[in-house]
Amino acid sequence: MKKILSTLVLSLVATVMLLAQAPQTFSYQTVVRDNNWQVIQNQSIGVQVSIIEDVANGSVVYVEEHTATTNDIGLINLAVGGGTVATGLFSNIDWGNHSYFMKISVDVSGGSNYLTMGTTQLRSVPYALFAETSNNAGPQGVAGNDGVDGTNGTNGVDGTNGTNGVDGVDGTNGTNGVDGVDGVGIAQTLTISGDTLFISSGNSIVIPGLSLINSLIMQGCTNPAAFNYDASANTDDSTCIAVVNGCTDSTAYSGYNPLANTDDGSCVAVVNGCTDPTATNYNAAANTDDGSCTYPSSLAIGDTHQGGIIFYLDGNGGGLIAAPSDQSTGAEWGCFGTLISGADGTAIGTGNQNTIDIEAGCTTVGTAADICANYTDGTYSDWFLPSKDELNQMWLNLHLQGLGGFANYGYLSSTENGINLAWVQGFGDGVQSSYIKYNANGNVRAIRAF
């Protein structure tokens, strides 16, 4: 018998008809897949539906059988209550006073050699079916006459105005501002040291490029066209620098000239470059390191490294490693009917946080995330269940290359897809699809980051 997977949540539909008896059926649909995660298309199958009262393993009150044919996407639709009755009477089910579970069994050959697929609680009772079995009240009596309105009460007297409150205390005065720097007096002495202008009063002013200005003027230049022209010089020592030459960007580490009134494009920013000669983008001219250095790596996809096999590299010396073998071939995602806050990350780099959130929000032992969180290879214990996109990288870079020893079955991700579903990827065809959380037939492969 093939292993069959059902990938859609139970769907119930109840219809109420006015002035007529409610129909004694509700709808059920599902997609049928084989053990390779492939849908079973256009094939006649046998289905047995059992209604169980109060608990999942309780008394069976009704059983019926159907013969259905899957469509192009493996979908079947059944009218529960309209099949061939095997046991019980559908109209006698007491929907109003008991809870009920539905067990689905399937024979993909179209016969009656049924294989049980699972049992799930009917969360809401179809309105019409409940109405059929509830204790209906008798006819309503005739409404009595309205009583006489009472007399309106007298308005109360207005209250006395309250006394005005006391004025608040005045706030504290603010602190006086700092005194400004004294201006330069005519009789004061100016002294230059580097880029600082010292004044005899004890004050000083820093002027970027002042040392360059001072040194150029002191040398002397008799060319009026130069920006360092000194009319008092009686000789020309060839230090004249043309006005059009230079860099006017004071943030540059190379080419800056505060006297130039145009920029010749020679400016090189101080923040640009990497000063580590071992880096691939080394810049010997830079005098600071902006952290942009990148380094060559000898690691490659498929290498054995730190407890597993590399299946993703981030370009900065890090990446992701898959465990060398599966941690389970029959795990459930867990916590059907519970939405796990934060466990919806899909991108590369979100699997670890998904796993942490699942462990915090789902206390069931032995779920796929719990298996990975507790896995250790004897050296590393920081393993986690991969996200949807991380799982796809593992399929592309390892399984399709014949690496990692993966099976052609569905592998579970840590990415939730609603209250009842999570994402799974079939490693036979690479298709990602929804997986019912309570199904216990998912493969698990833990990963870690380095």
- φ, ψ of residue 343 to 5 degrees: the values are -95, 35
φ, ψ of residue 432 to 5 degrees: the values are -100, 135
Statement to judge: residues 115 and 19 lie in one domain: yes
- Looking at the structure, do residues 113 and 213 belong to the same domain, yes or no? no
Number of Cβ within a 10 Å radius of residue 90: 17
Q: Which of 323, 294, 289 is nearest to 306 (CA)?
A: 323
Domain of residue 16: give its range: 5-133
Name the pTM for this structure: 0.40
Q: Which of 446, 444, 413, 442 is nearest to 37 (CA)?
A: 442
Residue 203: inside a domain, yes or no? yes
Residue 102: predicted pLDDT? 93
Domain boundary (196, 226, 243) is at 243
Give the model confidence (pLDDT) of 381-395 as tens digits.
999 999 999 999 999
- Residue 401 domain-assigned (yes or no): yes
Determine, yes or no, domain membership for 444: yes
What total of structural domains would you count in the chain?
Answer: 3
Residue pair 63/37 in contact (Cβ under 8 Å)? The answer is no
For residue 225, tell me if it sits in a domain. Answer: yes
User: According to the model, what pLDDT value does residue 122 have?
Assistant: 85
Last residue of a domain, one of 88, 103, 133: 133
Is residue 287 a part of any domain in this protein? no
Task: Tell me the two tokens of residue 62.
Answer: 């009704």
Same domain, 106 and 36: yes
> Cα–Cα distances in Å, from 109 out to 130, 139, 269?
35, 53, 75
Chain-centroid distance, C-alpha 96: 42
SS in 3 state form for the chain?
CCCCEECCCCCCCCCCCCCCCCCCCEEEEEEEECCCCCECCCCEEEEEEEEEECCCCCEEEEEEEEEEECCCCCEEEEEECCCEEEECCHHHCCCCCCCEEEEEEEECCCCCCCEEEEEEECCCCCHHHHHHHCCCCCCCCCCCCCCCCCCCCCCCCCCCCCCCCCCCCCCCCCCCCCCCCCCCCCCCCEEEECCEEEECCCCEEECCCHHHHHHHHHHCCCCCCECCCCCCCCCCCCCCCECCCCECCCCEEECECCCCCCCCCCCEECCCCCCCCCCCCCCCCCCCCCCCCCCCCCCCCCCEECCEEEEEECCCCCEEEECCCCCEEEECCCCCCCCCCCCCCCCCCCHHHHHHHHHHHCCCCCCHHHHHHCCCCCCCCCCECCCHHHHHHHHHHCHHHCCCCCCCCEEEEEEECCCCEEEEEECCCCCEEEEECCCCCEEECCEEEC
Which residues lie below 8 Å from residue 349, measured CB to CB, with a gap of 6+? 387, 390, 449
| Separation CA 53–CA 423 (nearest Å) | 32
Tens-place pLDDT, residues 25-79: 888 888 888 888 889 999 999 999 999 999 989 999 999 999 999 999 989 999 9
CATH code, domain carrying 34: 2.60.40
Whether 250 is in a domain gets the answer: no
* Residues lower than pLDDT 70 in the chain: 1-23, 124-144, 146-147, 149-150, 179-191, 199-202, 209-219, 227-228, 238, 241-245, 251-255, 259, 268-272, 278, 295-296
Do 403 and 341 fall within a single domain?
A: yes
Q: How far apart are CA 449 and CA 313, in angstroms?
A: 10
Tokens of 364: 């069931």
124: tokens are 């809401």
Residues 281 and 293 sit within 8 Å (Cβ to Cβ): yes
Last residue of a domain, one of 133, 149, 177: 133
